[in-house]
Every structure is written in structure tokens, then in C-alpha cells.
Amino acid sequence: MLKVENLKVEVDGKLILKGVDLELSPGKVVALMGPNGSGKTTLMMTIMGFPRYKVVEGRIIFKDTDITNLPVYERVNLGIGLAFQRSQSIDGVALRTFLKKIAEKRGVEVDIDGIANEFNMGDFLDRFVNKGFSGGEQKRCEFLQLLVLNPDLLLLDEPESGVDLDNIKLIGKAINKILKREVTPQTEGTDSERCVDKWKLKSALIVTHTGYILDYVKADEGYVLIDGRIVCKGNPYEILKIVEKYGYRRCERCV
Amino acid sequence: MRVKSVDLKKVGFDEREVDRSGSYMQVDSEVVKCGVKEPGVYVIPTKKAIECDEYRKYLWKALKEDPSLGDFSNGYFIITEPGKKAIFPVQTCLLIEDSNIQHVHNIIVVEEDSELTVVTGCSSVPRKGTHIGVSEFYVKKRGKLHFMMIHMWGEEVEVYPRTGVIVEEGATYVSDYVCFKPGAKIKAYPTIYVDRGGTVVVNSMVMVSETSNIDLGTRVYLKGKGARAEIVSRSVSFGGVSITRGHLVAEVPGVKGHLECKGLILKDGSIVSAIPELEARTRDVDLTHEAAVGKISEEEIEYLMARGFTPEEAQSIIVRGFLNVDVVNLPESLKEEIDKFLELTTEGI
């Protein structure tokens, strides 16, 4: 699904990612962990393609296509969807109108009222996008947009930040819905046999500090990013336990 | 009808008069349509109306008489019966085809406890011309007037409206103004007088083109206790000059007013000024304003790009929202037209 090769990225002239390799197979969920300022968000934003994040070396392959130089919206059309840590409000644009536009753009028909009600956003459809929304409401709004966008690769930048436990649960539910995990639980090794189109199996890359979200979304693999380099790879739940106990310093020795 | 190449739908005029309680159309100085379908509403050419003393008394009462303007060719005179709540709007249309100067005098009288909506569209065929529209509106006790004006002028047309509105006790005046494809020059500063418990809401959205110089304002005198006014103006400049003014005057205690002027610059070479003015002449008044001019934030564009929109589409969505296209109750045909206009003008910015 996604392959990041020796990725070096500069932000405002400063080298942040210093050669990152990462692979995400169809149907897999990868948790990306690491201390503040290690480059996790930069990796997300670079995969999404924002111009501020300048690739100086390496490449990003998505569904066998080199997307390193594609504009953001083309990556979206290929099936990448990002849940921002901080969302933007759009004055004068009703959420309902906006979701309709997204659906139109993706060429899909969506029961907007249905999914909005499912995620407690029914009352927000006639309000302006994110305008005056609380932290939890903004997050729910973010996932409502992603549910309409229906991406094959979900990039989640700290989905649990600034959100209470009830909302984390709801967000976990939304992620599983997008990943279609609630319907067909994945079992090891049978993915390609069960599915004719291998990209139908959706994947996610989740940046998390606390790991709370991993109580609701099962992660298959964990990566630890420190100072722009992947230093550790393994069972995400084991990594979390070690980090909780010893901090990220222990991870540096992992490689 | 002798209308040449103006698509009337775009200025809100339905020639088949579906869902309209009456219509008035004037081309240059000639009245080409004038009639009503709904009882209790009257639409008369102003020249004819003022032959009657009862109607003549409304001439130059909301505005100071200005002989320098010279004689007017005609205009519409619309009046309701007391208590009449018109189901459908009256539509009016003033077009410039061949003449150099179109001078009209319009009067709307909404009688006590009566409600009326007027949709007026002004447009022009030639590249040159001057439109002078004098308008006097009277909203009597507990009456309600919703006035929607759509301007779509030729590139070199100059427009100088004069408007005076008297809002009596407990009455409501709502004005929605949309101007896209503005003329070369528009200068307008309507004045509204609001009595006790009266409410005024003025919304305007202006899309300023490269060649235009638009100076628009609204002045409201809050003259009676409990009078309220809200003025919201939004202008987007594609290279021209846009000045939005607002002036709220609180004359007695217990009045409330809010003024919001916002401008967005999309192209270099634009000049956008927002000039809000608050004037309190007594204690215990509540006057506020909010003014902002600037450009679209990069973060907002990127947010929309991450939802699959191209930078051009993202810009158009933001501008549309900024202009409140969906908030103000515009005819669908006009919304579509604004969308088309925005798509064209935001390309390549």
C-alpha cells in the first residue's frame, strides 16, 4: 500500500527527517510513536504532500505509484486521507454543504444525515465547518469528513489529542468503520486470498503519544521515530509498555 | 418585450411571473411591464402614482429633495394595504439599453402590520451609461419589508443611487444587496431611520473587478428605545478599489447596533478599505463593530486540498463562504451565477 524509502525532508531549511524507511501492507495498521519534535507530524504531512515539507532525498510509493511530486489533491484522489491534529474553520460554509461537495468530488453517494447522526454530529450539519466547535466536536467533524472521503490509506495525526474518553471511543469506532474492520476482522496471511483487489484492504498510519487510541483500533505494527530516524520496529503494544516504563531512551537501543 | 441580451433570471426577474405577486420593468425610460397578481399589493409607475395626492406625499420625505438631479423618467411605486401579508415577492427590474442616463425614482410603502418582499434587479446592455436611482422606502408600524437588490452592470456603467428608509415603531427592514459584475463606479450611502423597537438588518456582498471603484456604505440612525441594527458587508476584490463604510448613530438610550465590514483581497493591485464608524449621542447604548481586511489563509487552502479540492476549488469554496452566499436567501439561479463567476475569476490566482 505505502512504501517510504530513505526519506529526507526539510522544513523551512532545516532537515527534520533524516532517512526514513517505512512499509505499510494492505489491511495493516501501523502505530508511529516517538518523543515530541522527532518528526512524526512531518512524516504525515510529507506523505500528504504539503509544499512546506520539502523532500530532498528518497521517495514515497503509494499503490505502486511514485507520488513524491504529486500535489495534495491528487494524492487524495488516489486514496490518501489525513485527519489533522488541528482543524481549520471555514466561515460561511455549512458542514452539510461541505460534506456534499466532498462526496461529489469523490463521486460517491453518502447518507450524510445517517453517518452524522451515528457520530453525534447531526446537530452540526447546518453550522459552519468547525466554527465554534469544541475540541471533541472538531475531532468528530474531522472523522465525519474522512468517512465521506473514504480513503484507502488513513493518516491519523494524534487522533486522541484534546479529546475525552467518550470521544476517543467514538473516534475509534469511526476509524474502524473507515477501515471496514468492524465487518471483516483481519486474520494473518489471508488478506490477498480473500480480496481480489488488494487495495480494498484499507490501511492506517497512526501517530500516537499516549496509545489510548490503540485500545480501540488494533495496531499490527509499531515504529518508533527519534530525531528523524526510525529506531525501532515491533509489536506496538510491547513498545508502549517499554516506553511507559523506561521512556523513549530505551528505544534508541532497540536497533 | 424589447429586452435585448440581458438574462433576466440572473438578476432575479422571472418573466413568466411564477411565484411573484407583481412585476415592474423599465428599460431606459420606458415602462415595459407593470402589474400585480395578488390583491392588496399595488405596483404603479411613479409618474402616474404621484398624480394622486395620497401617494404624492411620499415624494422626497425619506430623502432631502435634490433639484440638482433633475427630473426622473419614471420608477416604481409599490404600496400594500394595511395588514396585507404578501405571499410572493414583487419583482422589479431596471435596465439600461440605449440611453446614456437612466434616472428613476422608486417608492415602496409597507403599511401597518403588512409584510412584503421586493426583489429588484438592475443591469445594463451597453458598456457606457449612468444609473441614478432615487429610492424612498416607508415601513410603517409593525410592518416588514425585505428588499433584495441584485446589481449586474456593464463594465463602464456608473451607478449613483440615493436611498432613504424610514422604519416606524416595531417595524422591520431587511436589505440584501448583491453586486457582482459591478460597473466602473458605484457610490452609494443609504440612510435608514429606525423608530422605537424597530429592527434593521443590512447584508451586502460585493465582488469587485479590476476596472471598478466601489464605494458603499450604510448609515443607520437609531432614534427610538429598543431600536436595533445590524450591518454586515463583505467585499472581495479581484484587482479594483473597494471601500465599505458603515455608520451607526445612537440617538437615544436603550438601542443596539453592530457593524461588520470585511474585505478579502484576491489579486495584487486591489485596494480594500473598511471604514466603520460608531457614534453615540447618549448613555446606555450598545454599539460594536468588527472590521477586517486580508487574504485567504494558506492553512485553510491546505485543509481543503487535503479533502481533495484543487487550490482553485478551495479558493472558490472559501470566497463563497466569506460572501455568505448560502446564508443570505438568494434565488438559486443567482447562486449558480455567482458560482460560475467565482470559478472564472479565481482561476489562476
Dump the DSSP string for chain A.
Answer: -EEEEEEEEEETTEEEEEEEEEEE-TT-EEEEE--TTSSHHHHHHHHHT-TTEEEEEEEEEETTEE-TT--HHHHHHHTEEEE-SS---EEEEEHHHHHHHHHHHHT----HHHHHHHTT-GGGTTSEETTT--HHHHHHHHHHHHHHH--SEEEEE-TTTT--HHHHHHHHHHHHHHTTTTTS---TT-HHHH-SSGGGS-EEEEE-SS-GGGGTS--SEEEEEETTEEEEEE-HHHHHHHHHHH-GGGGGGT-
* Least confident range of B117-126, B134-143, B235-244, B247-256: B117-126
Give the chain A residue nearest B303 (alpha carbons). Answer: A88
- The whole-number pLDDT of residue A211 equals 86
CA distance B316 to chain A (A): 11
- Which residue from B283, B286, B287 is spatially nearest to B259, judged by alpha carbons? B287
User: Would you call B334 helix, strand, or coil by DSSP?
Assistant: helix
- Which residue from A94, A112, A72 is spatially nearest to B320, judged by alpha carbons? A94
B295 against B82, higher pLDDT? B82
- Cα separation of A57 and A69, whole Å? 12
CB of B321 within 8 Å of a chain A CB? The answer is yes
Using 50 as the pLDDT threshold, list the residues of chain A that sit under it.
183-186, 192-196, 255
* Least confident range of B251-260, B278-287, B317-326: B317-326
- The whole-number pLDDT of residue A250 equals 75
Centroid of chain to Cα A153: 7
* Mean pLDDT on B332-338: 77
CB contact under 8 A, B317 and A84: no
Confidence of residue B97 (pLDDT cuts 50, 70, 90): confident
Provide the ipTM.
0.90
Mean pLDDT, all residues of chain B: 90
CB contact under 8 A, A72 and B302: yes
* Mean pLDDT on B3-19: 76
Show the domains of chain A with their CATH numbers: 2-253 (3.40.50.300)
Q: Which residues of A touch B306 (CB under 8 A)?
A: 48, 72, 76, 81-82, 84
- The whole-number pLDDT of residue B91 equals 94
* Other Cβ atoms within 10 Å of A111 Cβ, number: 10
CB contact under 8 A, B309 and A97: no
- The whole-number pLDDT of residue A113 equals 94
- The set of residues, in sequence order, having a beta carbon less than 8 Å from that of B347 and lying 6+ positions away, is B312
Pairing of strands A14-24, A2-11: antiparallel
Q: Say if CB A65 and CB A114 are below 8 A apart.
A: no
- The whole-number pLDDT of residue A180 equals 85
- Cα separation of A250 and A189, whole Å? 31
3-state secondary structure string, A102-144? HHHHHCCCCCHHHHHHHCCCHHHCCCEECCCCCHHHHHHHHHH
- The whole-number pLDDT of residue B329 equals 72
- The whole-number pLDDT of residue A187 equals 52
- In chain B, what percentage of residues exceed pLDDT 90? 65
CA trace torsion A110, A111, A116, A118 (10° rounding) = -110
Q: Which residues of B touch A92 (CB under 8 A)?
A: 320-327
Scanning the structure block, which residue is given the C-alpha cell 409597507? B110
CA distance A252 to chain B (A): 33
Q: Which residues of B touch A97 (CB under 8 A)?
A: 326
- pLDDT, tens digit, 9 for 90 and up, residues A17-54: 999 999 999 999 999 999 888 999 999 999 999 999 99
- Cα separation of B171 and B195, whole Å? 8
CA distance B245 to chain A (A): 21
- The set of residues, in sequence order, having a beta carbon less than 8 Å from that of A190 and lying 6+ positions away, is none
Is the pLDDT at B330 greater than 80? The verdict is no
- Cell reading at B322: 466569506
